[in-house]
Amino acid sequence: GGLAVALLATQSKSQSMRILIAVYVDVFRALPPLVLLIFIYFGFPFLGIDLPKLLAVALGFLMNNAAYYGEIFRAGLVSVPLGQMEAARSTGLT
């Protein structure tokens, strides 16, 4: 999940997609995991979505951890200097 978030944040050509990913990361990093689990487990039935306990926990932790790891991976991708990118492309790497 985190790698998908990082790739969308760095490789997307759409400005609105990058803004949407930044909002996602900011929101899910700010929410404590226990509060997020309570929102998912007790809030989704009000929307008509009844999730089993294990799926609610897995979804909550996936959303929270994807935001954290997305920022870690994004920082690693952005830290590669332009010269290194050009050198990789000159040898045939994408």
Identify which of 15, 16, 17 has the alpha carbon closest to the alpha carbon of residue 4: 17
d(CA 22, CA 48): 28
pLDDT tens for the chain, residues 1 to 94: 999 999 999 988 999 999 999 999 999 999 999 999 999 999 999 999 999 999 999 999 999 999 999 999 999 988 989 899 899 989 988 7
The DSSP output letter for 31 is S
Structure tokens, 46: 């009000």
Give the pLDDT of residue 93: 87
Identify which of 62, 66, 58, 64 has the alpha carbon closest to the alpha carbon of residue 41: 58
Identify which of 26, 5, 27 has the alpha carbon closest to the alpha carbon of residue 17: 5
Give the pLDDT of residue 91: 93
